Amino acid sequence: MKKVKVLCTALIIATTFATGVFAQEAGGKVLDVNSAINSAIKNSYEVKNKENSIKRAEDNYTDEVRRGNSLEERAKINDRFIRLANKSDRTEEEEEDYKFYLAVYGSPMSDEEVSESLKMAGSIAVKYDFNKFQNKSALEIIKNKIKENVYEEYGNLLKDKDKLELERRKFEVAKGEFEQVKLSAKIGTISKLEGKEKEVEYLKAKEEYEACKRDFNIQRMNFNKLIGAPINTEYDKYLQEYTVDSEQIKDYEEYLNDALTNRAEIINGKEYIEVKRYERSLAIGVYYSEHREAKIADAAFENSKDMLELKKLDIQLEIKKLYDDIEIKNKNFKSVLQQYKEAKKSYDEISKRYSLGMVSKLEYNKRSAQLFEEMLNYKNIERDLYIAKLKLENACSLGTDVNKANYSDIG
């Protein structure tokens, strides 16, 4: 991808330090997106639910190890149980043991049941150990997704905030023009129709400004809900601004290699293959290679490898789609950047003329609002590019979809 340096704009907000979701400064509350992420994770139902799942998995692991030991012990005593059942002249001690076996187990196991018990005893601990491993991976994936959501919604909040400022500027221009027209109409230099047209423009600008206020407040409340802050919390300063340096955008192959190394589908899949490999060797050891159970275990092992390869293909398609999206957004960004430069040049010219008294304040305000709109268009495209890059980077780490990373059939 061709590289382009991103120019700083007047919209970039100065960086300060804050603690908590927002910090109280002399100028008011400051929203810090990093603290907002921590708050969203802390208050997330999904995170709490998965943490409980991990605790249950740990408890189940201990219980199932005990169950496995019990099955193994049962298999070991089965031969004695059979001998005692077939013995007519049992000693007093043997009779007590036999009655105990009857009370606890009911009857001796068949050879098939013994084999199944030995297989289960050997695989239980391995399965539940994998379940713990997978649940911990899932917790980090959930946190990744929350982080991505907060970044995206924070970007939408910035967009709505700046759109509100744009509509305020447009409203001030429309108001100034309407006041000027009213004065001209009073002294008879323009027609009533011209005055009415400006009044309509003024009322429309006012309506759009009020609508933007409502939209911004809704977005702010939704963001507060996402991060677990009081829903009516208002902010006076937004700590972070999204900027992108295209030099930091790597080649497609680098992203793909990272994804095929770091994704939970890959890490979990390799572990899952080892579980199925162990179960296959266990089945062959307990039975024999041509036995039905051994063949089932062998098929499950081969299937686990196929599953991993299919997930690799899915990851490849996902990374390609995300990378193509970045390329499109980056081209669009470079195009708008040039438009912004041209608008800035025009603004500098009119600012100079205004300072020399060659342009009225009203005309200066109109051109200033036009520049702000050009700048806002540029900034929003950069924000979209930032989020697209973030999504690609997340897709090259553990990922953001728990279901895609799931292999185990254990709850």
In a domain, 281, yes or no: yes
Structural domain for 50, as ranges: 22-405
Strand runs labelled E in 120-188: none
What one-letter code names the amino acid at 402? V
CA pair distance 170, 179, nearest whole angstrom: 14
Token pair in block for residue 389: 């890059």
* Nearest to 151, CA basis, from 403, 399, 388: 388
In a domain, 11, yes or no: no
Residue 294 exposure: Cα atoms within 13 Å on the Cβ side? 13
Q: How many domains does the chain have?
A: 1
pLDDT digits (tens, 9 = 90+) for 249-284: 899 999 999 999 999 999 999 999 999 998 888 888
pLDDT digits (tens, 9 = 90+) for 119-156: 666 677 788 888 889 999 999 999 999 999 999 999 99
In a domain, 2, yes or no: no
pLDDT digits (tens, 9 = 90+) for 207-252: 999 999 999 999 999 999 999 999 999 999 999 999 988 777 899 9
Judged against a pLDDT cut of 80, whether residue 188 lies above it is answered with no
What one-letter code names the amino acid at 279? E
| DSSP string for 94-114 | HHHHHHHHHHHHSSPPPHHHH
> Locate tokens 């800035």: which residue?
344
Average pLDDT over residues 389-393: 96
Per-residue pLDDT at 372: 85
Per-residue pLDDT at 8: 36
| Contact in structure between 399 and 265 (CB atoms under 8 Å) | yes
Sign of torsion, CA 171 175 176 180? positive
Residue 244: helix, strand or coil by DSSP?
coil
Per-residue pLDDT at 56: 83
pLDDT digits (tens, 9 = 90+) for 5-18: 333 333 333 332 23
**Residue 108: CB partners within 8 Å, gap ≥ 6?**
78, 81, 82, 85, 101
**Residue 181: CB partners within 8 Å, gap ≥ 6?**
190, 194, 195, 198, 199
User: What is the domain-level CATH number for residue 313?
Assistant: 1.20.1600.10
In a domain, 398, yes or no: yes
